[in-house]
């Protein structure tokens, strides 16, 4: 009887561990049964393209959340990176420099976030709230309230709107970033360090790790990821605008990470599962769009799903 309960418990554990991929499959089955247009290659590629931007940001900010921190400043970073790239294009810089300039803007904001949080030991939620406001102001000063059209820049436009081996290039970029970050988590000390800080920062510090350097690094990665998303977006829509990445972007990103099972208190987390979280949200919003669910119901459904998923996740502990 003992063994029986044990095996039942391990079965339950196995289902729980794979709850997210199972949920994605179930939801996809429901959507494809109710609406045949859902399960077409075109639509599936469309889902991947839709989630690529949020996906890149979520993958890059997972480490931040694993250290017990949070990055609310991703929205304006996305906007300012697009603007910096636009002005670099205007200055006729080579494409590599254009991309570098955009990424550097995001890395800089991330670095400042990390430095303030790590060195002054201030709460990340308020620090990044403040830099959210500061970065948005800076983007508006840089670009003004008007749209900046990016015309006749085929190489730059290829970044977001191009096609490579039959798939949009933004999907390739998302895949490469996700693969690289999964590698970083599994094969480099950073993955362990990040989890150690999230579990017990004091212990990680006392065992000789330079926790502040790790923290600065993870916020810099998060800022760079948001900047990359900004470059892709400006390239996709051929426009740079200071108000891109509106309020709510950071919430979508955090939702994807947390749905992927990363604890908002830090410690536990996996970048691969963040990718699943991204697709979970993407599939739901795509399916509801196809089924013509009105936007208000979509918002309620999204909120309910996040709350439910987290309630279940916290039961597990």
Partner 1 sequence: MKLRPATSALLFFTALVFAAFSVWAPRFATATNIENLMSGFSFIAILAMGQAFPILVRGIDLSIGAIVGLAGMVVFDLALIFHLPGYLILPLALLAGSLAGALNGFLVAYLRLQPFIATLATLAAYRGLTYTISGRQLVPGLTTTAITDPWIMGIEAYFDVGGWLGLTKWVNMPWIPLSFFLMLLVFALFQVLLLMTRFGRDIYAVGGNEEAARLAGIRTNVVIVLAYTLSGFAAAIAALIMVARFTTSTEALGTGMELTTIAAAVIGGVSLAGGTGSMFGPLIGAFLMGGILLGLTLLGISQFVQQIITGMILLAAISNDRLLAIRRRPKLLAISSGAS
84 or 255: whose CB is closer to partner 1? 255
The correct pick among 167, 190, 237, 264 for binding partner 1 (CB under 8 A) is 264
- Minimum distance from residue 124 beta carbon to partner 1 (Å): 10
289: contact with partner 1 by CB under 8 A: no
User: Residue 90 or 133: which CB sits closer to partner 1?
Assistant: 133
132 or 150, CB closer to partner 1?
132
Between residues 95 and 310, which has the closer beta carbon with respect to partner 1?
310
Q: Does 293 bind partner 1 (CB under 8 A)?
A: no
Q: What CA–CA distance (Å, rounded) separates 308 from 297?
A: 16
* Contacting residue, 36, 94, 189, 303, with partner 1 by CB under 8 A: 303
In which element (H, E) is residue 12 found? Answer: helix 2-17
Q: How far apart are CA 294 and CA 297, in angstroms?
A: 6
Q: How far is the CB of 123 from partner 1 (least distance, A)?
A: 5
Contact 106, 80 (CB under 8 A): yes
Q: Is 109 in the site for partner 1 (CB under 8 A)?
A: no
Side-chain half-sphere exposure of 124, counting CA atoms within 13 A = 23
Given the structure tokens 């709350």, which residue do they identify?
307
Q: Does 307 bind partner 1 (CB under 8 A)?
A: yes
Among 119, 176, 213, 297, binds partner 1 (CB under 8 A): 297
Give the nearer residue to partner 1 in terms of CB position, either 154 or 294. 294
What DSSP string runs through 254-293? Answer: HHHHHHTT--TTSS---HHHHHHHHHHHHHHHHHHHHTT-
User: Which parts of 116-175 interact with partner 1 (CB under 8 A)?
Assistant: 116, 120-123, 125-127, 129-134, 136-138, 140-141
Q: How many CA atoms lie within 13 A of 88 on its CB side?
A: 22
Nearer to partner 1, 36 or 137 (CB): 137
Q: Residues 53, 70, 171, 226: which binds partner 1 (CB under 8 A)?
A: 70
Q: Is 52 in the site for partner 1 (CB under 8 A)?
A: no
Chain residues 242-261 in contact with partner 1, contact rule CB under 8 A: 247, 251, 254-255, 258
The verdict on 78 binding partner 1 (CB under 8 A) reads no
End-to-end Cα distance, the chain: 25
Distance CA 225, CA 217 (A): 12
Contacts 24+ apart (CB under 8 A), 271-277: 271/59, 271/62, 271/63, 271/178, 271/181, 271/182, 271/184, 271/185, 272/178, 272/182, 273/20, 274/58, 274/59, 274/62, 275/55, 275/58, 275/59, 275/178, 276/20, 276/21, 276/24, 277/20, 277/58
What is the smallest separation between the CB atom of 126 and partner 1, expressed in angstroms? 5
CB of 275 to partner 1, least distance (A): 20
At closest approach, how far in Å is the CB of 181 from partner 1?
A: 22
| Interface with partner 1, residue 178, by CB under 8 A | no
Helices then strands, each counted (H, E), the chain: 14, 4
Residues lying near partner 1 in the complex (CB under 8 A) are found at 70, 116, 120-123, 125-127, 129-134, 136-138, 140-141, 247, 251, 254-255, 258, 264-265, 294-304, 306-307, 310-311, 314
């Amino acid at each position: 009887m003992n063994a029986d309960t044990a095996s039942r418990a391990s079965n339950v554990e196995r289902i729980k561990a794979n709850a997210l991929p199972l949920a994605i499959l179930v939801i996809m089955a429901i959507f494809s049964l109710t609406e045949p247009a859902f399960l077409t290659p075109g639509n599936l590629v469309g889902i991947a393209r839709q989630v690529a931007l949020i996906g890149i940001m979520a993958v890059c900010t997972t480490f931040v959340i694993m250290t017990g921190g949070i990055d609310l400043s991703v929205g304006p970073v996305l906007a300012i990176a697009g603007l910096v790239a636009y002005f670099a294009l205007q200055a006729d810089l080579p494409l590599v420099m254009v991309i570098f300039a955009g990424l550097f803007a995001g890395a800089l904001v991330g670095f400042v976030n990390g430095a303030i949080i790590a060195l002054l030991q201030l709460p990340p939620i308020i620090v990044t709230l403040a830099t959210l406001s500061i970065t948005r102001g800076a983007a508006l000063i840089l670009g003004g309230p008007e749209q900046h059209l990016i015309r006749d820049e085929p190489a730059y436009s290829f970044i977001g709107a191009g096609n490579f081996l039959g798939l949009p290039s933004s999907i390739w970029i998302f895949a490469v970033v996700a693969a690289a970050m999964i590698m970083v988590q599994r094969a480099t000390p950073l993955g362990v360090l990040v989890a150690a800080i999230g579990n017990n920062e004091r212990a990680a510090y006392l065992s000789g790790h330079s926790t502040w350097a790790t923290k600065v690094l993870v916020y810099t990665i998060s800022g760079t990821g948001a900047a990359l998303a900004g470059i892709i977006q400006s390239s996709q829509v051929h426009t740079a605008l200071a108000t891109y990445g509106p309020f709510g972007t950071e919430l979508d990103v955090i939702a994807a990470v947390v749905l992927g099972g990363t604890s908002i208190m830090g410690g536990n987390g996996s970048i691969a599962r963040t990718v699943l979280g991204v697709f979970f949200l993407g599939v739901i919003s795509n399916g509801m769009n196809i089924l013509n669910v009105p936007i208000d119901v979509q918002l309620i459904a999204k909120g309910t799903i996040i709350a439910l998923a987290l309630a279940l996740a916290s039961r597990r502990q």
